[in-house]
Amino acid sequence: MNASQNIQKNETRDLQRAYTRDLEDYLSKGGERALGSAYEIGRAALADGLGVLEMAAMQHAALAQVLQRVGSPASLGQYLDKAQEFFGESLSPYEMAHRGYRDAISALRQLNETLEQEIQRIAHAVHDEAGQLLFAARLAMSSVAHDLSPSLQGRLQEVGVLLDQAEKQLRRVSHELRPTVLDDLGLVPALEFLTEGISKRAELSIRVQSLLKNRCDPNIEIALYRVVQEALTNITKHARAKNVEIQLTNVDKHLHCLVHDDGVGFDAPSVLSCKERSGLGLVGIRERLNAVGGTLHIDSMIGGGTELLIKIPVET
Ligand SMILES: Nc1ncnc2c1ncn2[C@@H]1O[C@H](COP(=O)(O)OP(=O)(O)O)[C@@H](O)[C@H]1O
Ligand SMILES: [Mg+2]
């Protein structure tokens, strides 16, 4: 047992002692003060990382000790009701924390919705406004071309070709930002569209394999699309990979998505625990998944590639 485990064990023992003492106090004298101390013990236990099951064990041990000392009280039912009350009070910090967690998740969902609307606005602006400007530039160039010598006309044509490429690229990026195919046809075609573009731009082979039979909730589809988008951005930015595999399956009422690359890998635990080294991408992935009740597991080894396993509960 290491030093911190030792400290933790001592703290738990102290809490157990305080719990037993105050429970006994409450059972014999009642009163708000003893109930207040149940609340304080619950708060301390929560801060020490004790779970609800450990609290139940604490209640059980305390009650067993108190009953041993008291013997059989005249009204055992009343006695147990009071013990239950004390226990409930010690759990109320947990209840509050749980409520706070639920509020945070719902705020996160709302934030994601706002983010999606903003992305949609940018995608439209890029597609419509920038696209129209480029088109106008193209028209202006062809009207100027009449007044130029043939050699300058040739050079202007080259500029035109570049403008066409820029327009195509903008169109592609704006569709990837918020693909209508995601709403119309679902996750798998949207991922195929996304990976096709990234594959060409980054010279990377990306394979999407899906065993999904049905479409899922739109919130899950968009969350997973964003997660895979960020995972692929990381691969193109950091991994120096040649091949990427994306696999989608349903396992026990969960959607599993595996993103595997054969790149340089990284020391995930130390990157994740170090604020300066970890960017917003992986944190963003976790937050996206939190909002739909999903989880992320990262398996990476330096020199051995990276695998992200995403699990999201779904109704089947
Ligand atoms: N597929 C990957 N291959 C290698 N390294 C990765 C991969 N994904 C993430 N990383 C490492 O994890 C770090 C954190 O990633 P992320 O949170 O997305 O932040 P950012 O991309 O902004 O650096 C990256 O800087 C990189 O070192
Ligand atoms: Mg990133």
The predicted model gives 2-20 an average pLDDT of: 83
Q: What pLDDT was estimated at residue 24?
A: 93
**Closest ligand 1 atom number to CA of residue 306:** 1
Q: For residue 230, report the distance from its CA to the centre of ligand 2, in Å.
A: 6
User: In this structure, which residue's CA is closest to atom 11 in ligand 1?
Assistant: 266
222 pLDDT higher than 90:
yes
Mutate to test the pocket of ligand 1, among 230, 234, 276, 300 (most ligand atoms within 8 A of CB): 234
Is the alpha carbon torsion for 271, 272, 275, 281 positive or negative? Answer: positive
Q: Position of tokens 């102290």?
A: 14
Are residues 35 and 85 in contact, defined by beta-carbon separation less than 8 angstroms? yes
Q: What pLDDT was estimated at residue 30?
A: 86
Among all ligands shown, which has an atom nearest to the Cα of 279?
A: 1
Average pLDDT, the chain: 90
Q: How confident is the model at residue 280 (pLDDT cuts 50, 70, 90)?
A: confident
pLDDT tens-digit series, residues 184-197 = 999 999 999 999 99
The predicted model gives 155-169 an average pLDDT of: 89
Q: For residue 231, report the distance from its CA to the centre of ligand 2, in Å.
A: 7
Q: What pLDDT was estimated at residue 204?
A: 96
Q: For residue 272, report the distance from its CA to the centre of ligand 1, in Å.
A: 9
Q: What pLDDT was estimated at residue 270?
A: 87
Helical ranges in the chain per DSSP H: 3-29, 32-47, 52-70, 76-124, 131-145, 150-177, 180-184, 187-202, 218-234, 268-273, 281-291
Q: For residue 96, report the distance from its CA to the centre of ligand 1, in Å.
A: 35
Paired tokens of 260: 């595997």
The predicted model gives 204-222 an average pLDDT of: 94
Q: What pLDDT was estimated at residue 277?
A: 64
Q: Is 286 in the pocket of ligand 1 (CB under 6 A)?
A: no
Q: How confident is the model at residue 293 (pLDDT cuts 50, 70, 90)?
A: very high
Residue 310: strand pairing partners: 257, 296
Are residues 35 and 86 in contact, defined by beta-carbon separation less than 8 angstroms? yes
What length does the chain have? 316
Residue 200, Cα to own-chain centre: how many angstroms? 28
Say which DSSP state 294 is in: -
Q: How far apart are CA 67 and CA 261, in angstroms?
A: 60
The four Cα atoms 220, 223, 228, 230 give a dihedral, to 10 degrees, of -170
User: In this structure, which residue's CA is closest to atom 20 in ligand 1?
Assistant: 279
Please compute, for residue 226, the number of CA atoms within 13 A of its CA located in the half-sphere on the CB side: 23
pTM for the model stands at 0.74
Q: How far apart are CA 104 and CA 87, in angstroms?
A: 26
The predicted model gives 112-125 an average pLDDT of: 88
Paired tokens of 272: 């994740």
Q: What pLDDT was estimated at residue 279?
A: 64
145 pLDDT higher than 70:
yes
Q: How confident is the model at residue 4 (pLDDT cuts 50, 70, 90)?
A: low
In the chain, the percentage of residues whose pLDDT exceeds 90 is: 56
User: In this structure, which residue's CA is closest to atom 1 in ligand 1?
Assistant: 235
**Closest ligand 1 atom number to CA of residue 308:** 1
pLDDT tens-digit series, residues 36-87 = 999 999 999 999 999 999 999 999 999 999 988 877 777 888 889 999 999 9
